[in-house]
């Protein structure tokens, strides 16, 4: 995408564009194999657009209306699906599970270091 296209997109008429979509733009531009999933509104969450790349990394943002999500995806050439109908891609679940296991491993290593720091040093001979 050229500088002129980005300039037009940034300053162009954003009529009806949900403000939350702006934070998805870098993800849409920098990741490969991105797909969009419109998540329905729930009692505690607004309608959201979830973007998932080919590795399973993801990001989401609230949208005012599903048509805003569709417009965003069309603008970036991203296929879009209804998450309530098709569900979520397995690669996203695997990516999240791997990320959680990495965090658990890191937490265990930090806890081990903290325990070793709390131990009294052995007496010097």
| One pLDDT digit (tens) per residue for the chain, 125 residues | 565 555 555 544 444 578 889 999 999 999 999 999 999 999 999 999 999 999 999 999 999 999 999 999 999 999 999 999 999 998 888 887 776 655 566 667 777 777 777 776 666 76
Q: Say if 8 falls within a structural domain.
A: no
Q: Say if 71 falls within a structural domain.
A: yes
Q: What is the distance of C-alpha 69 from the center of its chain?
A: 14
Sign of CA dihedral 25, 83, 89, 105: positive
Per-residue model confidence (pLDDT) at position 70:
95
CB 37 within 8 A of CB 83: yes
C-alpha to C-alpha distances, 47 to 23, 100, 102, 116, nearest whole angstrom: 15, 25, 30, 47
Sequence-ordered list of residues with C-beta below 8 angstroms from that of 58, at least 6 positions apart, any chain: 50, 51, 52, 92, 95, 96
Q: Say if 37 falls within a structural domain.
A: yes
Q: Say if 125 falls within a structural domain.
A: no
Q: Is the pTM of this model over 0.75?
A: no
Listing DSSP states for 5-29 in one string gives HHHHHHHS--TT--GGGGGGHHHHH
Per-residue model confidence (pLDDT) at position 18:
80
Q: Say if 79 falls within a structural domain.
A: yes
108 CB-contact burial (10 Å; exposed 0-12 / middle 13-18 / buried 19+): exposed
- Cα dihedral 12, 13, 17, 22, rounded to 10, equals 20
Per-residue model confidence (pLDDT) at position 15:
44
Which residues constitute the domain of residue 67? 13-117
Per-residue model confidence (pLDDT) at position 117:
75
Q: Say if 86 falls within a structural domain.
A: yes
- The count of domains in the chain is 1
Q: Say if 5 falls within a structural domain.
A: no
């Amino acid at each position: 995408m050229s500088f002129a296209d980005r300039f037009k997109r940034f300053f162009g008429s954003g009529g009806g564009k949900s403000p939350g979509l702006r934070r998805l733009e870098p993800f849409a531009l920098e990741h490969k194999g991105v797909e969009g999933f419109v998540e329905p509104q729930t009692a505690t969450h607004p309608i959201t657009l979830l973007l998932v790349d080919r590795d399973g990394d993801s990001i989401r943002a609230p949208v005012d209306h599903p048509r805003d999500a569709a417009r965003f995806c069309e603008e970036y050439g991203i296929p879009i699906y209804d998450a309530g109908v098709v569900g979520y891609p397995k690669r996203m679940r695997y990516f999240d599970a791997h990320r959680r296991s990495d965090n658990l491993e890191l937490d265990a290593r930090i806890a081990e270091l903290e325990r070793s720091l709390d131990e009294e040093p052995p007496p010097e001979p």
